[in-house]
Structure 1
Amino acid sequence: MITYRYGLKPVLKKDTRVVVLGSMPSERSIEYQQYYGHPRNHFWYIMAEIFQEPFPSMNYQTKLARLTDRGVGLWDVIASCDRRGSADQRITNEQYNPLENLLSYPEKLCALALNGTKAADSLRKWENIHEVLPFERKQLPSTSPVPGKNVKSFEEKIMLWREFFSHYIEVGRTL
């Protein structure tokens, strides 16, 4: 059954340097009201490797606090959509988040980490309607554990995400 879904509120602080933009949270993430809330999603495991923090074992509020303390914010390009299940390919009738609000973070915010192909494609569509955001950006491998045509190994994902973050944030050091 196709269900209309609403995403999550942004997790941003005034000193956010990098925003991880996903497409739309999974059903489990929406149910839990947590970014990357499905236990098999690789996001928190990748962050643990990059920042040498035990993110997967932390409660959600602690995860967010530790991540934002490092200058990383979370949001999605899509605010709401029709979708059957959690697959990005099944998203239709998407409505976008007001990403222009990111322009209120100009002193510190410098980059967008696009979590997978759908996030990158959705940002391009948003920019065709609105304006091109003045931040550097990179499409990174999806943290979803679901195999796709461009799937990378967990180790490759860590390497690519770490390389991107290392340009903007100090990585590999415990706070």
Structure 2
Amino acid sequence: MSVKAGLPPIARADARLFVLGSLPGDASLAARRYYAHPTNQFWRLLGAAIGEELQLLEYEQRLERLAERRIGLWDVIASANRPGSLDQAIRLAEHNRIEHLLHDFPDLRAIAFNGGTAAASGRKLVGSQSEIALVDLPSSSAANTRSFAEKAAAWAVLSQFL
């Protein structure tokens, strides 16, 4: 089984919010873009939370909008063995040093975890002594069968950190 390595963090130095996934799926890794699979609802959900239709923009424009809104993207897992794209298949995960976000981004107000796998590992890595908000979000993956409206209601909390 081959090791899949994630993508580098994307953020300006003044980021106030980071959204962390688990490990990009195969479509995202192949495209070298966050949330590249067409059925993943990430761009619609985040766009709804910040009042912009991000899914209508080209990828580079999406990243520019996130930078303007002081939002960073990264993943909890740096690399892992994983057949396919499902989080349940992740084995032998190596984690990113996300605890460094607290020091490297002095304006950081919140870290949001996209899905249960990201939240479970991410909360352990950040620790409970953190003075920033830790937000667990329902996964934007199409594998999460909750309705878009239900997911969007949960994701709406992100607007308070911008």
For 2:121, the equivalent position in structure 1 comes to 122
Percent of pairs with identical residues: 39
Is 1:152 aligned to 2:152, yes or no?
no
For 2:86, the equivalent position in structure 1 comes to 87
For 1:27, the equivalent position in structure 2 comes to 26
For 1:97, the equivalent position in structure 2 comes to 96
TM-score (norm: length of structure 2):
0.92
For 1:72, the equivalent position in structure 2 comes to 71
For 1:136, the equivalent position in structure 2 comes to 133
Instruction: Look up the equivalent residue of 2:161 and give its one-letter code.
Output: Y
| Moved >3 Å (runs of 4+) | 131-134
Is 1:167 aligned to 2:160, yes or no?
yes
Contact between 1:16 and 1:105, CA under 8 Å: does it hold in 2?
yes
Per-residue CA deviation, residues 117-150 of structure 1 (Å, 9 max, x unaligned), is: 000111134357xx85442101110000114xxx
* Secondary structure, aligned partner of 2:161: coil
TM-score (norm: length of structure 1):
0.85
Gaps of at least 5 residues in structure 1 are 170-175
* Secondary structure, aligned partner of 2:85: coil
For 2:43, the equivalent position in structure 1 comes to 44
Change (3 A) 1:110 1:11: same
- For residue 32 of structure 1, report the CA deviation from its aligned partner: 0.4
**RMSD of equivalent CA atoms:** 1.7
Looking at structure 1, the residues matched to 123 and 154 of structure 2 have their Cα atoms a distance apart, in angstroms, of 21
Aligned residue pairs total 161
The range that moved more, 10-19 or 45-54, is 45-54
Looking at structure 2, the residues matched to 17 and 68 of structure 1 have their Cα atoms a distance apart, in angstroms, of 10
Gaps of at least 5 residues in structure 2 are none
* Secondary structure, aligned partner of 1:167: helix
